[in-house]
Structure 1
């Protein structure tokens, strides 16, 4: 089956340890637990879109190591087409080294590894996947030049192009905006992109207005428990968040993006796709972990407020 949603992005192995507190410089602490969890925004969004009903393909790079094999196997187990998940000889797989303390504060070191090798030439080898897609999704955990290349190619092909600008540290290249159908930042990313401090629906609307003026098609600012703000040239609308008891917000944004894209690819309207993504994200925060927390299509369909 051809993939309706194609994700170009990152694959990481998250190495997570818990300790009573974060270590000081030069200090060795005894940890309480250690787990390895498949992650990376690209892979998280691929898993989300697949579990939530879409046929999905992933374009990315891993190292020629055990973590790379495990990440690829995890995606294959979800039914994701991995023909374009390329192992780079002599390179390590991307990792996130995460220490979490008893108050849930964390310290993270990310090593890009294979993610830094996702070049335009790698993507071009799998142009047929992009050509067959309905929706193309990018984030910012692979080289910026590659992201720009994919956005432009998606526009040339007439596809629905989604950019989740994470992690964003400043404005995007000006030429990108015209290539993007849906820009989906969270509060901090919207602030970084526009300079508008975003902490409410009203300030999200102001940031979205600035982004629309830059030439982007439509904007969805995700606001956690405050819901989401959708904006287009026709106006804006606020979508309240489903009420749940949050346990762990890891991958909630990725779940929203994957769910929204899956719903769009299946022909749902924008409001219905946003609500579908919101329910999926809300269910994800009631569980721990990144990919393990992402719900299935049937769970979202069966959600009762």
Structure 2
């Protein structure tokens, strides 16, 4: 096992990011103010963010036989991702996302998953040695439930800890929860995982209790500008502030958060400190437009963390 290596499984695709003054009404056309095209996907973003923060990274993904898929290896090489495990699917499209950012700093995201939805548990089992030799496994919901459960099983067999970012939101099989070290939902995802109304304000304490009741060991619910609630396996809950910055765009903040959390946790095995470090990294992300181009590097994140870490925890329960 390489304690310094993180394996990420998720999708690679192309993202088209458009800025608009406001979102359109039904049937209305709104003119865009700017357009950026860049590689993306939660898995890809988290792999790149972790690499920039100093981790050795394996990335397992799938692509179609199209112009976007042909770019995947080059993009990973350019970002210093050492382990590149790309599953090709003939006759399939590579994932694509359309991200619309409004002037009031809200985002809408539409994703075509493409080839990544063809990945089965058998595909993941081919990379059992890659996972088993990692210090940490970082997962999201971009892969099928079958593939995710196979990855969790491989990690369990090898004694590799798992951080699970349940995005996009969906339910998780009950048998997975006890084998996940940290689960990191946002408010909407926590609501869906606990059967609450995702459109209503989240009862954070109740959601934490229910997630622990399902077998989750450590629960970190991210609360946007209100920071996060960090509930540890020992029963203690901490509140962590967000970094106080002027928000330009929230796109990619969750990916920077989860990557930074994973990197810090791999280095320290300290969940609370990792949540504080993640808050700093995601704060740096939202200060700037775009996603990949503005994910922080290690030197910047460390400098901001050293300056602000004492401000991050506001209460404990």
TM > 0.5 fold call: yes
Query: Does the residue aligned with 1:247 lie in a helix, a strand or coil?
Result: coil
Gap change, CA 1:289 and 1:119, over 3 Å in 2: same
Q: Distance in 2 between matches of 1:273 and 1:232?
A: 12
Contact 2:121–2:149 under 8 Å retained in 1: no
Q: Residues 62 and 228 from structure 1, CA distance in 2 versus in 1: closer, same or farther, beyond 3 angstroms? A: same
- In the TM superposition, what whole-angstrom CA distance separates every residue of 1:148-196 from its partner, at most 9, and x where no partner exists? 1111221121111111000114x32111111211111011111111134
Change (3 A) 1:270 1:18: closer
Cα distance, 1:16 vs structure 2? 2.5
Pair 1:40 & 2:51 matched: no
User: Which runs of structure 2 are paired with 1:210-289 in the superposition (5 Å)?
Assistant: 210-234=210-234, 235-289=236-290
Structure 2: runs of 5 or more not aligned: 309-317
- The normalised TM-score by structure 2 is 0.87
Which residue in 1 is equivalent to 2:312? none
Moved more, 136-145 or 264-273: 264-273
Instruction: Please name the residue that 2:300 is paired with.
Output: 299
Aligned partner of 1:188 in structure 2 is: 188
TM-superposed CA distance for 1:31, in Å, is: 4.1
May I ask how many residue pairs the two structures share in their alignment? 304
1:19 and 1:130, CA in 2 relative to 1: closer, same or farther beyond 3 A?
same
CA distance 1:217–1:104, shift in 2 (3 Å): closer
Q: In structure 2, what is the equivalent of residue 141 of structure 1? A: 142
Q: Is the 8 A contact 2:125 2:154 kept in 1?
A: no
Shift of the 229–201 alpha-carbon distance from structure 1 to 2, 3 Å rule, reads farther
Residue by residue over 1:180-219, the C-alpha shift from the partner in whole angstroms, topping out at 9 and shown as x without a partner, is 1111101111111113468999932321111011111111
Match of 2:129 in 1: 128
Return the alpha-carbon distance in structure 1 between the equivalents of residues 198 and 78 of structure 2: 38
Deviation at 1:103, TM superposition (A): 5.0
Which has the higher mean CA deviation after the structures are superposed, 224-233 or 35-44? 224-233
> In the TM superposition, what whole-angstrom CA distance separates every residue of 1:112-153 from its partner, at most 9, and x where no partner exists?
111112221221222111011010011001111111111122
Q: How far off is 1:23 after superposition?
A: 5.5
User: What SS does structure 1 have at the residue aligned with 2:142?
Assistant: coil
Deviations 1:241-265 (A, max 9, x none): 2211111111111111101111122
Secondary structure of 1:109's aligned partner: strand
Q: 1:202 to 1:232 in 2, by over 3 A?
A: farther
Task: Note closer, same or farther for the CA distance 1:240–1:70 as it changes in structure 2 (3 Å cut).
Answer: same
2:42, 2:140 within 8 Å by CA — same for their partners in 1?
yes
Q: Deviations over 1:255-278 (max 9, x none)?
A: 111011111222352222221111
Instruction: Indicate the residue corresponding to 2:97 in structure 1.
Output: 96
Task: Please state how far the C-alpha of 1:32 moved relative to its aligned partner.
Answer: 4.1
Unaligned regions of 5+ residues in structure 1, if any?
none
